[in-house]
Structure 1
Amino acid sequence: MTDDPGVTGLRATLRSNPAGHWLSTPSPQIAEQLALTDADFVVIDTEHAPTDTESVEACVRAVDAANAQSGVNRSEGDAGDTAPVVRVAWNDHVRIKRALDTGAAGVMAPQVNTPAEAEAFVAAARYPPEGHRGVAGVRASAYGRDLDEYYERAHDRVGTIAQIETEAAVANAGDIAAVDGLDALLVGPADLSADLGVFGEYDSEPFLTAVEEVLAASEVPVGTLATSPAEIDHWASVGYDYQIVGVDAGYVAAGATAALERYADAEEN
């Protein structure tokens, strides 16, 4: 992983062993609360969540509000800010440009299986002549007020994360990671284990071998998603460069269950 002094924003954050949260509910209130934990990023999911573009923009705005409460100005790249990242529903240029237009710091695309798909992903996130993202006076550019500056800085700041979720993607991981402008890979443990025929068996030889191949082949950071404290420890031992340390729905369920169990124990005593 080479350092580039011109890279800022999420692109730089991904190179510094960050940790973030996953937002599965289209709630700006929860997005803001997650950002107030000083996480490095919050991933707003639109693939497996009922989150439309309007909700994405509300959640991005909520993360920005949390940064403002913490005295952070993300547009200036201050240290300690939380970056809103959108996981688009598919590697589709229309979905990608609409996500970035909301002011998101970066995008994550599922099921990127080949270098050609990775190139298309990066191109959708880049303005011409490097890509084909449409230029418009949207929220990302303060509705056109900062369009020139945003256009000039976007390629240095806007991060791109490709998900490795199939056996084919594992085989192509090195070439995918080598695509110019791609900032990170994220191994989707559930989908990858399912594709390998060992769903949920994260200690199985086929799964761990596949992960090791991705880590060894990639010259960009490789991360994953943890859904429990035990998984955080497990993934750290595997050697990932960054983690999504939990999901909002999981946090709520764990807290609610723990509270009820605590009450039951108190009643017994």
Structure 2
Amino acid sequence: MTDFKDRLRAGEPVVGHWLSIGDPTVAELCARDADFVVIDTEHAPTGLESVANAARAVEAAGDAAALARVAWNDPVRIKRVLDTGVSGVLVPMVETPEEAREAVEAVRYPPEGVRGIAGSRANDYGRDLGEAVESAGGDLVTVVQVETERAVENAGAIAAVEGIDALLVGPADLSGSLGVFGEYDSERFESAVSAVLDAAHDRDTPVGTLATGDDDIRLWADYGYDYQIVGVDAGYIAAGVERATRTYEDEME
């Protein structure tokens, strides 16, 4: 966990996968050749039991870190996913430094934060609770998403908040907020992303994003992102199904 956090903070090109299905087998497969995975609970029907089982599967697969994307910047939601034993959180729709500080406080135990103290899988069901409280949660990863025009304007101040390990640009929401949904080669979108990268890099904070295909991976690399989530589990399955079906149809013609 700490190794991944250090590598992320250092701006190393760590690579991740997005988990929307919630099945531990899929989580295990995706984690084998990754530095991290993100278990989505915002736009996926993933409950806490599924998050915990996915975290177990990721641990079984090797050294990848498991982060959970919470549904909102809410201390209760953040507390509950952290108790499953994930290595950190991805917090959506953060627009101001105040909201970024709220996210950090939700991750940290008192006196640095407001996370409730209890025995859970995250601390070996209470066996390591004292050590966890002493560390205050500083070993956990806190990444916040830049997804609106207002967040772009405040990117530097958000990146400067102590405890924020990285930013992640949500390309779909950001392009929608800018009125150019999906137009990732538009000047308006490119300008916004460049502003986020420049502002965050001035604070030595890495910036990543999510790709949904090879073209996106290449485009984001050209943009200069520090790290990428290079695809979505459901997308991998869909692409494999389509490829196999096309191959069969071509052979039967």
Tell me the TM-score normalized by structure 2: 0.95
Equivalent residue number for residue 232 of structure 1 = 217
Does residue 61 (structure 1) correspond to residue 56 (structure 2)? The answer is yes
Does residue 164 (structure 1) correspond to residue 152 (structure 2)? The answer is no
Does residue 33 (structure 1) correspond to residue 29 (structure 2)? The answer is yes
Deviation at 1:9, TM superposition (A): 3.8
Partner AA of 2:24 in structure 1: P
Equivalent residue number for residue 38 of structure 2 = 43
Partner AA of 1:263 in structure 2: Y
Equivalent residue number for residue 112 of structure 1 = 94
Equivalent residue number for residue 250 of structure 2 = 265
Task: Please report the RMSD computed on the Cα atoms of aligned residues, expressed in angstroms.
Answer: 1.3
Deviation at 1:201, TM superposition (A): 0.1
- Once residues 138 and 7 of structure 2 are traced to their aligned partners in structure 1, the CA distance between those partners, rounded to angstroms, is 12
Equivalent residue number for residue 174 of structure 1 = 156
Alpha-carbon contact 1:9-1:157 (below 8 Å) kept: no
- Once residues 140 and 13 of structure 1 are traced to their aligned partners in structure 2, the CA distance between those partners, rounded to angstroms, is 22
Alpha-carbon contact 1:10-1:157 (below 8 Å) kept: no
**SS of the residue 2:251 aligns to:** helix
- Once residues 8 and 99 of structure 1 are traced to their aligned partners in structure 2, the CA distance between those partners, rounded to angstroms, is 18
Equivalent residue number for residue 21 of structure 1 = 17
Deviation at 1:154, TM superposition (A): 5.6
Partner AA of 1:236 in structure 2: A
What is the CA deviation profile of residues 84-105 of structure 1, one whole-angstrom value per residue up to 9, with x for unaligned ones?
0000000000000111111000
Map residues 164-203 of structure 1 onto 2, 5 A cutoff. Answer: 164-203=146-185
- Once residues 243 and 7 of structure 2 are traced to their aligned partners in structure 1, the CA distance between those partners, rounded to angstroms, is 33
Does residue 243 (structure 1) correspond to residue 228 (structure 2)? The answer is yes
Does residue 8 (structure 1) correspond to residue 2 (structure 2)? The answer is yes
- Once residues 111 and 10 of structure 1 are traced to their aligned partners in structure 2, the CA distance between those partners, rounded to angstroms, is 24
Alpha-carbon contact 1:9-1:105 (below 8 Å) kept: no
Partner AA of 1:30 in structure 2: V
Number of aligned pairs? 248
- Once residues 88 and 8 of structure 1 are traced to their aligned partners in structure 2, the CA distance between those partners, rounded to angstroms, is 21
- Once residues 232 and 22 of structure 1 are traced to their aligned partners in structure 2, the CA distance between those partners, rounded to angstroms, is 14
Tell me the TM-score normalized by structure 1: 0.89
- Once residues 13 and 26 of structure 1 are traced to their aligned partners in structure 2, the CA distance between those partners, rounded to angstroms, is 26
Partner AA of 2:61 in structure 1: A
Alpha-carbon contact 2:16-2:36 (below 8 Å) kept: yes
Deviates more, 1:171-180 or 1:58-67: 58-67
Deviation at 1:205, TM superposition (A): 0.6
Deviation at 1:108, TM superposition (A): 0.5
Partner AA of 1:59 in structure 2: A
- Once residues 207 and 66 of structure 2 are traced to their aligned partners in structure 1, the CA distance between those partners, rounded to angstroms, is 18
Alpha-carbon contact 2:21-2:233 (below 8 Å) kept: yes
Alpha-carbon contact 2:110-2:136 (below 8 Å) kept: no
- Once residues 165 and 205 of structure 1 are traced to their aligned partners in structure 2, the CA distance between those partners, rounded to angstroms, is 17
Equivalent residue number for residue 74 of structure 1 = none
- Once residues 246 and 197 of structure 2 are traced to their aligned partners in structure 1, the CA distance between those partners, rounded to angstroms, is 40
**SS of the residue 1:11 aligns to:** helix
Deviation at 1:170, TM superposition (A): 0.1
Map residues 199-214 of structure 1 onto 2, 5 A cutoff. Answer: 199-214=181-196
Q: Give the unaligned 5+ runs of structure 2.
A: none
Alpha-carbon contact 2:17-2:230 (below 8 Å) kept: yes
